[in-house]
Chains A and B, each alone.
Chain A
Amino acid sequence: MDEMAGLASSSFFFKIDRKIELYLKIYVDLNKNQEIAGGLIGDIKGVKGKGIVFDIKSFLPFPNLASDKRNFSDIPKLWFEILDEWRIFQHPKQKFIGFLHSHPLNSSKISTQDKEFANSLREKYGTIVFIIIGENKTLRCYLFKNEEPVLIGGKNNYYKCLLR
């Protein structure tokens, strides 16, 4: 895959640490029939000539509490507190930069429910990326800088990053 997929927004893109992507791949493969989700930790930094990159360094999975594991139930607020605690102790120099979840049986397009959730995160954490892994190894990364998200491209190796 191209190292840098096309950019829908010229000044933002994302980057997933290679190990984290590999880990994600294994994790998603292990849970083919259920939705997985978790918080993304990393840095928001500049890259010469490219703009701003959301550099994903770590992923903390959240348990899927839904009775139907193909969907994800509401995420307790406490888990974000745990995530924050984990970040402070394990990645003190990094910050919460987004959220990732899968659509095991659907495309990686964002749903209305996803948007609402992402906007609630944006209100709390500022600009975030919202990554969705869909069926057929596709991935979309939405940038929530404002209420309406924009698709951004990025550097990843295993998933096919879609920009439409």
Chain B
Amino acid sequence: MTCLTTNAMIEEVAVNLLRQAVTKLPEDVKNALKNAYSNEKSQIGKTQLKAILENIEMAEKTNTPMCQDTGLISFYLEAGSKFKDLDKVEGALCKAVQRATKEIPLRPNAIDPLTQENTNDNTGRHIPYFHWKIAKGDFLRITVFPKGGGSENTCALQMMKPSDGLKSVKEFVIDSVIKAGGMPCPPTIIGVGVGGGANIAVELAKQALMKPLDEVNPNAKVAELEREIYRAVNKTGIGPMGLGGDTTTLAVKVEYAHRHPASYPVAVAFQCWAARKATAAIHARGEVEYLTHKS
């Protein structure tokens, strides 16, 4: 495989992933929203969920971005150490973002915080943002994660006292959920990051948003904490769009890292109901496997 082929293929795959991500929700999120609609007892909550479900269907049918906020774009990359020309990947992905902006299209969402100028192509300083993991093998797995601003603005971080420990986590999540109200477009997916350090806790919370909704955490203690927080959040009655109802969260996912003796960082990340992401794996021989959206 020549350099050019690899770059062109990576660019093409990434444009497809962006289109998939913004126009079609992953099946687990769709099912969670459908279940929420069936179970919702509040009339107002039901009308909000109905509008969401109708919107999802229209977006999928017409290949239109489901939300006008097509997000600020990040890529999560898992690269086999034998995959060639890894140094060219970011360039190809930047080109993909520019092309996708024109073609899908995406709303231009990259703004210079010093001048307030919009770059008009969704690229900018450190944007799209790249997260890298190196693995064994000769594949490149690309996940695109366009993140909306509404749910991003309600993310929170607090450096707890170690003596408050684990019991501060549940209260902090509930406080964050109440403060957020309808602003992050509930029902949301909630990611919680504990430990590591300020940046690590937030990153863990963000990554937790991408976990499959139905997956039970293999750590029994964490799974119990997730269930406890999930039940508590839905008891707040904040409901779809913060207008009251039974489903405020679709799922709570907790990730943790070991911590400094003096620190107990806790981060809460929100993902709106339009939980957009898409993953594909490119194999060295040129096969592309789309993993989130099969068609």
Question: Is B a genuine binding partner of A?
Answer: no
* Contact surface of B with A, Cβ cutoff 8 Å: none
Binding site for B on A (CB under 8 A): none
